[in-house]
Amino acid sequence: MRALLCLALGAALVSTACAQETPKIIDIEPAAERSGELRRAPEFTQEDFDNPKYDNTALEGRDFHMVQGPPLKLHCYGVEKQGGAVMCRTKPNAKVKIGRSDDDFYYETADDRGYLLVGFDRDERRTIVEAEGNRLEYNFTPRDYDTSRIDGLPPSQVSTFTEAQLKRIRNASARKKKGFASRAQELGFTNGFELPIKEEFIKTTNFGAQRILNGEPKKPHYGVDLAAPVGTPIYAPADGIVSLADDELYFEGAMVLLDHGQGLISMYLHVDAITVQEGQAVKQGEQIATVGSKGRSTGPHLCWRLKWRNRNLDPELLTEWPNDDH
């Protein structure tokens, strides 16, 4: 039990919490609700299929959950909640306004089929999406994230680094930046997202968990921690390009980044063996690494994260991406 709690609390921030005998777990408050409500795609009739003004290529096979409709409007469809994402469909190469308000926005360009992914940050309250004279507005109810409190940590927990460590951290940061800047052209997630571990695992930390160390709120946990034995295979949850495969990272130890297109990048931290190379294209279900405990980790687990541009998304939520088979 202790090992699991250490895992849950230690993965990202409390580097030595589990090496010490003293830290006392005061409280773990599980959030009341966990997963998002899914909106189903509008029903399409045979008539729609036959209508030449619809682009039906995406209706084939498992692509069905992709947004359908007349190409000149704007439709978005997906997991509409904090940490979620929607796939929008509009005119090919349309300029799409995305923002929190009319004073705080920027433009993205839909791809040449008219698709554009829009993600929602952990604490996003409002997002507007506007294209071709159509406007969609999302107002989010705050999600109830877990809270974990640890008291009695020695003050030395606030890390100080040696010159050599700092150099390593800075070098790693440049490599990571490059990995995150990758923008694959192909959409790699049209078949939805699968869990990256197929064997048994224990989920030890949920996305968004708020950590309070010695009474002080710290950065939330932006990943989902899945505890499994060292060597357990990790599989690509969707097609993508390996934009980073690095086992010299100070904090993450060994990390793989997968670029799924349109700014969606999934992250695999603390892995043991990396079984892919940078630049390699991987298919959904292909092995990319094995579970490990490298870097600042207190036990074997996969810290699985997902970023859309600068936003932190909930990878687990995207496994619920609507995926209709009819």
What residue ranges bind Zn ion (CB under 5 A)? Answer: 11, 223, 225, 303
C-alpha span between 305 and 289 (Å, rounded) = 15
Tell me the closest approach of the beta carbon of residue 270 to Zn ion, in angstroms. Answer: 8
Backbone torsions φ then ψ of 268, nearest 5 degrees = -130, 105
- CB of 11 or CB of 184, closer to Zn ion: 11
Nearest to 263 by CA among 106, 29, 34: 106
- CB of 223 or CB of 263, closer to Zn ion: 223
- CB of 223 or CB of 240, closer to Zn ion: 223
Check: CB of residue 7 under 8 Å from CB of residue 204: yes
Buried b (16+ CB within 10 A) or exposed e, 143-176: bebbbbbbeebeeebeeeeeeeeeebeeebeeeb
- Reduce the DSSP state of residue 210 to 3 states and report it: strand
- CB of 78 or CB of 83, closer to Zn ion: 83
Check: CB of residue 87 under 8 Å from CB of residue 115: yes
Which residue number has the CB closest to Zn ion? 303
Tell me the closest approach of the beta carbon of residue 28 to Zn ion, in angstroms. Answer: 15
- CB of 220 or CB of 223, closer to Zn ion: 223
Tell me the closest approach of the beta carbon of residue 91 to Zn ion, in angstroms. Answer: 39
C-alpha span between 106 and 240 (Å, rounded) = 26
Tell me the closest approach of the beta carbon of residue 264 to Zn ion, in angstroms. Answer: 19
- CB of 69 or CB of 196, closer to Zn ion: 196
Residue 42 CA from chain centroid, whole number:
26
Tell me the closest approach of the beta carbon of residue 36 to Zn ion, in angstroms. Answer: 20
Cα Rg of the chain, angstroms = 21
Check: CB of residue 272 under 8 Å from CB of residue 293: yes
Tell me the closest approach of the beta carbon of residue 255 to Zn ion, in angstroms. Answer: 12
